[in-house]
Amino acid sequence: MEMFLALKFWREIIIGALLALLLIVIAACIILFLQVKQANAEVEYIKTEHALTLTTERANYEVRARKLEKESYDQTIAAINDAKKREKSNAIDAANTVAANERLSQTIDRLSANAATDAQFRVEYATTSGQLLKDCSSSITDLARVADMHVNDIRMLQGIAKRK
């Protein structure tokens, strides 16, 4: 009897089954839509986080680059200032050397003029020659010291250039 009843209402049963299937499909579509929407929101969140990370890294890079540029600039300015100080010192040393040489030359000329008549000349000449030797030795030592300073400065500038 149930079988006859089922055959009598077969259309309603099929429509009911189709409606149930339609509701299941609609529910599945809604669930799928919500999952896709959530996945898209997560992708947008990840994109936003990535963009923020990139912006932060770029800003940090800019800060580091500016810091390195400033350090390089400061080193260059310090090297230039040191070079100017050395140039000034070298100019003073050169002027002092020229003046000392001029005085020594005048002393030798004065002693040479008195050579024929003055027995004291020989003593003064020997003393002057000894002093001249000491002064020359001192000047050569100073020249070597200054040359060493220049070599040191060149090495410092090469070190600065290597860091750039």
**Residue 28 CB burial class (10 angstroms; 0-12, 13-18, ≥19):** exposed
The answer as to whether 71 is a domain residue is yes
Q: Does residue 5 belong to any structural domain of this protein?
A: no
Digit-coded pLDDT (tens) for 101-138 = 778 777 777 766 766 666 676 777 777 777 877 888 78
User: Which residue has better confidence, 150 or 36?
Assistant: 36
Establish if 36 belongs to a structural domain: yes
Residue 146's domain spans which residues? 13-163
**Mean per-residue pLDDT over the chain, rounded:** 83
Cβ atoms of 146 and 93 within 8 Å: the answer is yes
Q: Please tell me the total count of domains within the chain.
A: 1
Considering only residues 142 and 40, tell me which one the structure prediction assigns the higher pLDDT: 40
**CA quadruple 145, 149, 151, 155: dihedral sign:** positive
Is 8 domain-assigned?
A: no
**What share of the chain in percent tops pLDDT 70?**
87
Distance of CA 40 to the CA centre of its chain: 43
What share of the chain has pLDDT > 90, as a percent? Answer: 32
Asked whether residue 4 is assigned to any structural domain, the reply reads no
What is the pLDDT, as a whole number, of residue 52? 96
Span 74-88, average pLDDT? 82
Is 45 a residue whose pLDDT tops 80?
yes
Domain presence at residue 3? no
Q: Angle formed by the axes of helices 120-163 and 10-113, to 10°? A: 170
Q: How far apart are the first and last CA of the chain?
A: 99
Residue 150 forms part of a structural domain: yes
Whether residue 132 lies inside any domain: the answer is: yes
